[in-house]
Amino acid sequence: MDYKLLENELKKRLDFPYSWGRKQVDNFDKETNFIYKSANFETLLKEIETNFKDTSVSTSFKNYALNRWFNFWSAKAVEEFFCKHQSVYPHQNTKDKYVDFFIQQIPFDHKTTIFPKGFKKSIPYAIEHKRELINWFYKNQSKQQRKHFKNRLFIVLINTANEQEHWRLKADLMWLKNIISTYLSTFDVQNLEKFYFQNQIITSDIIWAIK
C-alpha cells in the first residue's frame, strides 16, 4: 500500500460535508459495499453516481458511501501500520471480524474513533479516566454486525483546534503511523485494562491521537 498516495486520496473526501444522515445499518452497508473495490476517490464518486442517481434517497446513500469509504481505507492503512511492527503479527484469517492482529500473543480488533460527544465529560477527564471511556465505548458504540465484546484497541482522535472535526484526522495517515509506532515501542501489558462482559474477560486500551 502506498500510504502517501492513499493519504492524498482520503484528503479529497475532506472537501465534502461530513454527514451520515442515519446510523450505520446492515441494509445500507449492503448497498454500499462497492467502497471496498478501490481507494481512488474519483472511482468512488463514479460508483456512487452509477448506483444511486435514479433513487429517491441518493443523497443519503452518497453521504453513507463517502463515510464508509473514508473510514474503511483509513482503517485498512492503520491495520497495516500495526502489522508491520516487529512486535505484531497479523491474524491469518482475514475474515475474522473479532481479531485484526496479535500484540505479544494477545488478539486485538482495532477501531479508530472520534472523541464521543455522548460521553458527556471533558477530554482531560477522559484522558485521566480511560477505563471509564473504554467502558462507555463497549456499551454504546457499534450496532448490528459491528457490535462485539472482544479485545479491542481504540484509537481516539482529538482535534483540539475544532472539536466538530475530529473525524478529519483519519486522513492524516503518516501522523497516525508515528503515533502507533510510539505506542507499540512502549507497549506494556500491565497498562491494559480488563473488563468482564458477557461472561468473558476482555482486554482493551486507548491510543490517544491528539492534534
pLDDT at 123 over 80: yes
CA dist list (Å): 119 to 122, 123, 183 = 8, 9, 24
> How confident is the model over 103-122, as a mean pLDDT?
94
Indicate if the pLDDT at residue 143 is higher than 70: no
In this predicted structure, the answer to whether residue 148 has a pLDDT above a threshold of 90 is no
User: 22 pLDDT exceeds 80?
Assistant: no
Which residue, chain included where needed, has cell 456499551? 139
- Say whether pLDDT at 142 is over 90: no
The band of 1, judged by pLDDT with boundaries at 50, 70 and 90, is confident
Instruction: Name the band, by pLDDT with cuts 50, 70 and 90, for residue 29.
Output: confident
State pTM to two decimals: 0.90
Question: What pLDDT does residue 51 have?
Answer: 85
Tens digits of residue pLDDT in 150-202: 999 999 999 999 888 999 999 999 999 999 999 999 999 999 999 998 889 99
For residue range 42-97, list pLDDT tens digits in order.
Answer: 999 999 988 887 766 678 888 889 999 999 999 999 999 999 999 999 988 877 78
d(CA 149, CA 37): 29
Q: Please say if the pLDDT value at position 203 is more than 70.
A: yes
pLDDT in tens, 75-86: 999 999 999 999
